[in-house]
Chain A
Amino acid sequence: MSDNLSIADRRSKNRREEENTIHDNKLISEIEALKIEFEKTTDKLIKDVRRQDKIMARSDKRQQKEYDELQRKFAEVEALQKEIEETQREVVFTMGAIGESRSKETGNHVKRVAQYSKVLALYYGMSEKEAEMLKQASPMHDIGKVAIPDAILNKPGRFNQEERLIMDTHAQLGYDMLKASNRPLLKLAATVAYEHHEKYNGKGYPQGLKGEEIHIGGRITALADVFDALGSDRVYKKAWDDERIFNLFKEERGEHFDPNLIDIFFEHLDEFLSIRDSLKDL
């Protein structure tokens, strides 16, 4: 025989080749199954990744909207806050003006006293916030006067003793009117109404408080109010000229008025005169 392989060998070889083919097919189908699984899995992964991206994009968009909404609300709150503060300021001034209206004091008197009070407070050492609060509280110091009868309130001459006592009740009355509120501003206003007729030497009314016993708001308003009253025409008297006013203040330093405040007043006289000038009665 000229073949390289015997029949037996050839058969054996064929068999092995067949086996390999079967083996190949099995492997191939396993691989193909894997391929399918792999594609399924990667498809799912891709879908998940795409979904994540989508979620991120939408989330970003939503966050921007929420940010805008927040900004809008902040602006609203700020505007409202401003509105409230402005309203409070005006109501307070109006109340002060009402308190003075029956005795024919002008709205500018109220503004002047408020402004003097703030300046005195700042130089005395109060914070901007405290001084501003006093500026708003002090105009209400004479609110008790609304309960004083016309005949007394607008009497052109001097009071007799009885009339004097009645007039002096406006301090207590003002306090009674304002004390009900717990708002810091109105509590301060109540104190100022109560104590703006106290004197540094203890000879004031209604409580006869002395020196630092008197709330600083009371001491300041006392000075501011008298300064303005003396410099204006009233039912019962004409305006004093400046020299007369300054002499009185010097005399009353430590008596009627807190000496520190009198000193501050003279130290910054030009400022007070400038206020008086800019808020002159028309």
Chain B
Amino acid sequence: MNNLIIEETKYTPSINFDTQKGVFELIGKSYPENTFDFYKPMMDLVEEYFDGEEQEITTINMEIIYFNSSSSKLFFDFFDLVEEAHNDGKTIEINWIYDEENDSALEAGEDFQEDFENLKFNLVKK
């Protein structure tokens, strides 16, 4: 299965999804102009991955510094996919990485953690 590597830009995060290792990383800011278009490759990959191509353990590392509202919706949809896979019995761990100084990031992580109680959602201080 293919990997996905997208470089960080001023407004969008770096995306590094290694399907071989089962490690997915999302690092940076998320202010894309068209959120749906930007994240489509990632969402497609994730759907395909969990459709039988997944590793034993999948680790998702998210280090999002700032994100706009449409990104928020996108992350919800992303976690929906993850939750679906989890309900199918797959082993997934999510690490929400935040900087001590960044209150917003911590709060966002806490919110998502609460929204998706069933998932193994860790808040990791950088």
Q: Which chain B positions have C-beta within 8 A of A66?
A: 66, 104
The verdict on B103 contacting chain A, using a C-beta distance below 8 Å, is yes
Contacts of B69 in A (CB 8 A): 55-56, 59
Give the residue name and chain of the A residue nearest to B105 (CB): A62
Contact B76 A51 (CB under 8 A): yes
Which residues of A26-84 have CB atoms within 8 Å of chain B's CB atoms?
A: 51-52, 54-56, 58-59, 61-62, 65-66
Residues from 104 to 119 in B contacting A, C-beta threshold 8 Å: 104, 107-108, 111, 115
A55 and B76 within 8 A (CB): yes
Let me know if B125 is at the binding interface, CB within 8 A: no
Number of interface residues of B (CB under 8 A): 12
The total of interchain contacts (Cβ-Cβ below 8 angstroms) comes to 23
| Closest beta carbon of chain B to A204's beta carbon, Å | 57
Say what secondary structure dominates the interface of chain A: helix
| A-side contacts of B107, CB under 8 Å | 61-62
Contact at B103–A55, with CB atoms within 8 Å? no
Q: Please provide the chain B residues from 58 to 101 with a CB less than 8 Å away from any CB of chain A in the complex.
A: 66, 68-69, 72-73, 76
Task: Establish whether residues A58 and B73, one from each chain, have CB atoms under 8 Å apart when the complex forms.
Answer: no
Q: How far is the CA of A56 from the CA of B111 in the complex (A)?
A: 13
Q: How far is the CB of A30 from chain B (nearest CB, A)?
A: 29
How distant is B101 from chain A, measured CB to nearest CB, in Å?
A: 11
Q: Which A residues lie within 8 Å of B73 (CB)?
A: 51-52, 55
Q: How far is the CA of A59 from the CA of B72 in the complex (A)?
A: 8
A58 to B106: give the CA distance in the assembly, Å: 13
Which B residues have a C-beta under 8 Å from some C-beta of A?
A: 66, 68-69, 72-73, 76, 103-104, 107-108, 111, 115
23 pairs, A vs B, C-beta closer than 8 Å: A51-B73, A51-B76, A52-B73, A54-B115, A55-B69, A55-B72, A55-B73, A55-B76, A56-B69, A58-B72, A58-B108, A58-B111, A59-B68, A59-B69, A59-B72, A61-B107, A62-B104, A62-B107, A62-B108, A65-B103, A65-B104, A66-B66, A66-B104
